[in-house]
Chain A
Amino acid sequence: MTDASLPAAAPKSLLVADGRTRRRKAAETRFRLYGVAAIAIGLLALVFLLTSVLGNGVNAFRQTFVEIPVTLDEAVLDKTGTRDPKAMAKVTTVSYGKLIQQALEAELATRGIDTSALTEKQVMSLMSKEAPADLRRQVLADPLLIGQTITFDAFATSRVDGYFKGRVTMESASRDSNITPEQLVVAEAMAGAGLIETRWNWRFLTAPDASELRPEAAGLGVAILGSAYMMLIVLVLSLPIGVATSIYLEEMAPKNRWTDLIEVNIANLAAVPSIVYGILALALFINFMGLPQSAPIVGGLVLTLMTLPTIIIATRAALQAVPPSIRDAALGVGASKMQSIFHHVLPLAMPGILTGTILGLARALGESAPLLLIGMVAFVKDFPSAPPEGLMQPATALPVQVYQWTQRSDPAFVERASGAIIVLLTFLLTMNAVAIILRRRFERRW
């Protein structure tokens, strides 16, 4: 080859960009723009999601209450006068309802609020249908209240609540069979007199679900407890099983076709749609083993199955990331394989293992499909008791509660579903934050 075959080197200046440089720069700029555009679209979607969820959901944490003094008449509530809870339990919510109605009418009269445009029933339906049951619960819990006059805090009915939150207007009320504009006028007057107030409502987080007709009384208590029970089961089962499996596969098992096969299958299991796990759980735990439907134990087991592959994969990655020189060092001073794993490798892999576990748990917490299949969609109004019996009793879970509420027709439930999403997201973000903190905190160089 001679010099002639090489392209002649033209005299060049560093200060003037040639064609190639310009094209390279243009390509670079275009690529940057694509990236920025992609991120912008993502952020926009996120902002939209958050504003719509927050905008709807924040109101679920506030609730309108009707506050009136109620005299707990002994003649009605405890005819025997013995304060014996058994005898008192015979008094039904109907009697309590009458008591409340009398108190409400009396209070409206003393405050000079004109209710002539309303029937008695319409006055009463400013309050939640849950009110008599609430009062009864309160009295049965503390029989000494009988004979006293207490300030009773009742939920306002969801339409009145909606009116004070801006969801219901006079105009929509005129078309609504559940409320009339006249009722809203009275409610407005009661608010002026301080009998109606909208404020923070803890019972959204602590109360159980309520029926279709009483959205104002519906809460997340059972769902949160059910989710907590399931997370407990998932953690207790999947962390030890997952870590033990990974240690065996990574550190002890011979590397051959069988372990390769197992490895491939674990990776595949991690990708199996969660509803398939639901079908498996239905067949195995409920039909074959006869465990009760809607119980946290079954939910916990199916979520464990679902989370295990994630934890195993994360743990194996964490174990692989521990440099082999550490293992050599331990073996070199005469540590056994077990000692080298448990004294050195595992502690170093721990942040990675915990991060993987938390992310797995977070995924399990947000999972609804498999729970639907094992019957966790039931309407559950009673809290499950403390573990272990509680694990066998019906409960719901947060994501399923969201699903259930969005299915109901009353718009007040949409608000509550958004509120439940906020609670769920808060849990998820907290868990992810803990995972990040753990990773940062224990990050080690070697």
Chain B
Amino acid sequence: MNVMQIAERATATATAKMTARGVQVHYGENHALKDVDVDILAGTVTAFIGPSGCGKSTFLRCLNRMNDTVASARVTGEIRLDGEDIYDRRVDPVTLRARVGMVFQKPNPFPKSIYENVAYGPRIHGLTRNRAELDQVVETSLRKAALWNEVKDRLQAPGTGLSGGQQQRLCIARAIATAPEVLLMDEPCSALDPIATAQVEELIDELHTQFSVVIVTHSMQQAARVSQRTAFFHLGHLVEYGETGQIFTNPRDPRTESYITGRIG
């Protein structure tokens, strides 16, 4: 391991929200993720970049144990949230996912009303005491997701009737309504047009003051625009992790350089 990386990490642990050490993932025989060490810093946007199939989504799904739902997946190593091992036997993955929210690549609103989509999380976690509070949470979440003005007159309309970009913002609103501490986003803009993308990016920028945001993206520009830190994955390895500016302007690993200049991918 690179000496500079270790030095950098030492300074970072002070504010690390999540820490991953030696994470390995196997899908049956397929060794998808090899010995990954990453610190997700509090109040920071972290971007994961890398060619298709390199394990970005796999790692992201380890962070809230969504991989538990994949029968063939086997995760080893150690991931801590606020110093607590999330793969400890005593940890209930459901409670974990309430604290580490997720937005998926394909918009997947529930086929229920817009209101119900956002209200569902707070309701099952008992975050509000009455209808007025719930209304308030729904409104704030939709406002934060930059969707309120478009849907405030039709909260009872089905969420699946919105456009793709609106659906994705609805999913973001749904994820932030449960007030997670970390928000994981897997290519949230891949289904969006440039305007909606810009809105989501703006939103991420606002959100990171409250949550740690981890975003997987295939767009170098997007990673450069929204993130403070960037991790580059290649063939299941974490090749390089550091300040976004440094990764893009002065990558230490030749593979990183080839990727961001478009030579591998």
Which positions in A face B, CB cutoff 8 Å?
Answer: 254-255, 323, 325-336, 339, 343-344, 348, 444-446
CA distance A335 to B71 in the complex (A): 19
Residues of B within 8 A of A444 (CB): 111, 160
CA distance A329 to B112 in the complex (A): 13
Among residues of A, the one whose C-beta sits closest to the C-beta of B104 is A328
Q: A328-B66, A329-B104, A339-B124 are in contact. Are A334 and B110 (CB under 8 A)?
A: no
Q: A326-B110, A339-B124, A348-B111 are in contact. Are A333 and B97 (CB under 8 A)?
A: yes
Taking the complex as formed, is B174 at the interface, i.e. its CB lies under 8 A from any CB of chain A? yes
Contact A254 B97 (CB under 8 A): no
Residues of A within 8 A of B11 (CB): none
Contact A325 B106 (CB under 8 A): yes
Q: 11 A-B pairs, CB-CB below 8 angstroms? A: A326-B110, A328-B104, A328-B108, A329-B108, A330-B110, A332-B103, A333-B124, A333-B174, A343-B120, A343-B124, A348-B111
Contact A329 B110 (CB under 8 A): yes
Taking the complex as formed, is B125 at the interface, i.e. its CB lies under 8 A from any CB of chain A? yes
Chain A nearest CB from B53 CB (Å) reads 19
Contact A326 B120 (CB under 8 A): no
Taking the complex as formed, is B62 at the interface, i.e. its CB lies under 8 A from any CB of chain A? no
Residues of A within 8 A of B101 (CB): 332-334
Contact B97 A445 (CB under 8 A): no
Among residues of B, the one whose C-beta sits closest to the C-beta of A254 is B71
Contact B109 A329 (CB under 8 A): yes
Taking the complex as formed, is B264 at the interface, i.e. its CB lies under 8 A from any CB of chain A? no
Complex partner residue of A334 from B69, B106, B109, B124, CB under 8 angstroms: B124
Contact B125 A334 (CB under 8 A): yes
CA distance A343 to B120 in the complex (A): 10
CA distance A231 to B106 in the complex (A): 44
Complex partner residue of A327 from B69, B103, B174, B178, CB under 8 angstroms: B69
Judged by DSSP, the binding face of A is: helix
- Contacts between the two chains (Cβ within 8 Å), count: 69
Contact A334 B95 (CB under 8 A): yes
CA distance A328 to B103 in the complex (A): 10
Contact B110 A344 (CB under 8 A): yes
Contact A325 B104 (CB under 8 A): yes
CA distance A334 to B175 in the complex (A): 9
Contact B175 A332 (CB under 8 A): yes
Q: A254-B71, A446-B111, A446-B160 are in contact. Are A333 and B104 (CB under 8 A)?
A: no
Chain A nearest CB from B172 CB (Å) reads 11
Contact A335 B66 (CB under 8 A): no
Contact B104 A334 (CB under 8 A): no
CA distance A344 to B110 in the complex (A): 7
CA distance A362 to B89 in the complex (A): 49
Taking the complex as formed, is B142 at the interface, i.e. its CB lies under 8 A from any CB of chain A? no
Contact A332 B97 (CB under 8 A): yes
CA distance A344 to B108 in the complex (A): 12
Residues of A within 8 A of B109 (CB): 329
Residues of A within 8 A of B99 (CB): 334
Residues of A within 8 A of B69 (CB): 327-328, 331
Taking the complex as formed, is B171 at the interface, i.e. its CB lies under 8 A from any CB of chain A? yes
Taking the complex as formed, is B94 at the interface, i.e. its CB lies under 8 A from any CB of chain A? yes
CA distance A323 to B69 in the complex (A): 14
Contact A326 B108 (CB under 8 A): yes
Chain B nearest CB from A5 CB (Å) reads 40
Taking the complex as formed, is B102 at the interface, i.e. its CB lies under 8 A from any CB of chain A? yes
Apart from the given pairs A326-B110, A343-B124, 11 other A-B contacts in the complex at a CB distance below 8 Å: A325-B104, A326-B111, A329-B110, A331-B69, A332-B103, A332-B104, A333-B178, A334-B95, A334-B125, A444-B111, A446-B111
Chain B nearest CB from A231 CB (Å) reads 31
Chain B nearest CB from A225 CB (Å) reads 41
CA distance A229 to B43 in the complex (A): 65
Chain A nearest CB from B101 CB (Å) reads 7
Query: What per-residue 1/0 map shows which CB atoms of B38-76 lie under 8 Å from chain A?
Result: 000000000000000000000000001010010100000
Contact B94 A335 (CB under 8 A): yes
Contact A329 B171 (CB under 8 A): yes
Among residues of B, the one whose C-beta sits closest to the C-beta of A336 is B94
CA distance A328 to B105 in the complex (A): 11
Contact A445 B104 (CB under 8 A): no
Among residues of A, the one whose C-beta sits closest to the C-beta of B107 is A325
Chain A nearest CB from B171 CB (Å) reads 7
